[in-house]
């Protein structure tokens, strides 16, 4: 416990410094960078048990509680556009996997599941099932999330300058009490159930479902306090930073840099699609970039929250991406790798 407390304090200090430097998503990025540096030095960095999972659930509740009946109707009308735009980014990633395999000489399985913007655990399991290098895939997937988390908030800041006080008071509810505690309890139960069923992003999905119930029924007093979201950022950054091990630099000296470059290309594709959709529909390029960015749902949701962007739109796009990858990852693998499973 003392070591966990020390790690949380150091991560919080890093987050506070990054926030003082006016970095977007400062609490998460500062926490991540400090703990990553300590972990890369070989120090034993401890995380809060279930800290990242509960933080993801809290972020999900913050997103879901904004899903009013009017917002749900608007998202339903945008569903075809969300499907097409998300599928386009997935297909670009599939094409990149062929190029990645050709440049680095990696086997098609490893290249494909490293390139697909899915969950780290899910892509690693599929790579192992089809004969790929599971370790290399897990590192490449982590680097993708790391690159997106560090770069996309800076781009969003350039595209969107929120007012200094805009929405700040809205994040602190007038009456946060029994209703919020009830929704959190439901989210924890649902998160445990979904994690047992091995549902990808189960904790965040549980939070979204719980928060959506509150939003659709217009339950009062369910707004997540801003201080709780700061704690969530620190714990998520701490969990991500601990995965930066010294072996990270030794694994795939050619493969991993090319994977990072491929992630940069995916961010560029997301930027172009967001620009086109904004010109067509006027949904906001910054919100659309977060919605299409190949990063984690929790991290992109926190950026949307801190920048006062369309959080529900961001979460909806990412959930659709998760569902499409679950449904299409194996068929697309067979098409683009032309390799049979073991």
State what percent of residues in the chain have pLDDT above 90: 20
Question: Is residue 156 within 8 Å of 289, Cβ to Cβ?
Answer: yes
pLDDT at 29: 86
Question: DSSP label at 246?
Answer: G
In the chain, where the domains are located: 66-224+248-337
What DSSP line would sit under 117-173, residue for residue? -S-HHHHHHHHHHTT--HHHHHHHHHHHHHHHHHHHHHHHHHH----TTTTTGGGS-
pLDDT at 64: 83
pLDDT at 107: 87
Structure confidence at residue 177 as a pLDDT band (50, 70, 90): low
Cβ atoms within 10 A of the Cβ of 323, count?
A: 13
pLDDT at 173: 42
Mean pLDDT of 132-158: 85
Tens digit of each residue's pLDDT (9 = 90 or more) over 87-129: 999 999 999 999 998 888 888 888 999 999 987 777 887 888 8
Q: State how far the alpha carbon of 319 is from the alpha carbons of 64, 160, 182, 292, 301, in Å.
A: 12, 23, 24, 11, 11
Structure confidence at residue 298 as a pLDDT band (50, 70, 90): confident
Question: DSSP label at 300?
Answer: H
Mean pLDDT of 244-273: 83
Structure confidence at residue 246 as a pLDDT band (50, 70, 90): confident
Tens digit of each residue's pLDDT (9 = 90 or more) over 318-333: 888 888 888 888 889 8
State what percent of residues in the chain have pLDDT above 70: 91
- Least confidently predicted of 21-35, 181-195, 269-283: 21-35
Q: What is the number of alpha carbons within 13 Å of residue 262 lying toward its C-beta?
A: 33
CA–CA separation, 133 vs 112, rounded Å? 11
Mean pLDDT of 120-146: 82
């Amino acid at each position: 416990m003392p070591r966990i407390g020390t790690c949380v304090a150091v991560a919080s200090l890093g987050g506070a410094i990054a926030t003082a430097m006016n970095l977007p998503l400062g609490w998460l990025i500062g926490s991540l960078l400090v703990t990553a540096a300590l972990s890369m030095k070989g120090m034993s960095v401890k995380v809060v048990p279930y800290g990242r999972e509960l933080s993801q659930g809290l972020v999900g509740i913050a997103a879901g509680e904004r899903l009013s009946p009017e917002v749900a109707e608007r998202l339903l009308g945008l569903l075809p556009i969300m499907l097409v735009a998300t599928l386009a980014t997935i297909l670009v990633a599939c094409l990149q996997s062929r190029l990645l395999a050709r440049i680095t000489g990696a086997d098609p399985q490893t290249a494909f599941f490293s390139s697909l913007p899915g969950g780290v655990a899910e892509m690693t399991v599929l790579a192992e099932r089809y004969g790929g290098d599971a370790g290399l895939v897990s590192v490449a997937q982590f680097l993708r999330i790391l690159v997106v988390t560090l770069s996309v908030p800076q781009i969003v800041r350039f595209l969107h300058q929120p007012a200094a006080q805009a929405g700040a008071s809205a994040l602190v509810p007038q009456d946060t009490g029994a209703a919020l505690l009830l929704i959190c309890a439901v989210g924890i139960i649902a998160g445990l159930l979904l994690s047992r069923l091995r549902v990808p992003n189960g904790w965040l999905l549980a939070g979204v479902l719980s928060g959506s119930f509150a939003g659709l029924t217009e339950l009062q007093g369910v707004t997540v306090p801003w201080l709780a979201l700061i704690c969530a950022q620190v714990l998520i950054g701490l969990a991500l930073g601990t995965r930066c091990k010294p072996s990270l630099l030794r694994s795939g000296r050619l493969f991993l840099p090319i994977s990072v470059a491929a992630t940069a290309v995916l961010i560029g594709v997301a930027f172009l699609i967001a620009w086109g959709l904004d010109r067509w529909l006027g949904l906001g390029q910054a919100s659309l970039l977060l919605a299409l960015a190949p990063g984690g749902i929790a991290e992109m949701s926190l950026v949307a929250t801190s920048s006062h962007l369309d959080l529900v739109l961001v979460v909806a796009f990412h959930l659709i991406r998760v569902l499409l990858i679950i449904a299409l990852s194996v068929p697309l693998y067979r098409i683009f790798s032309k390799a049979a499973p073991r």
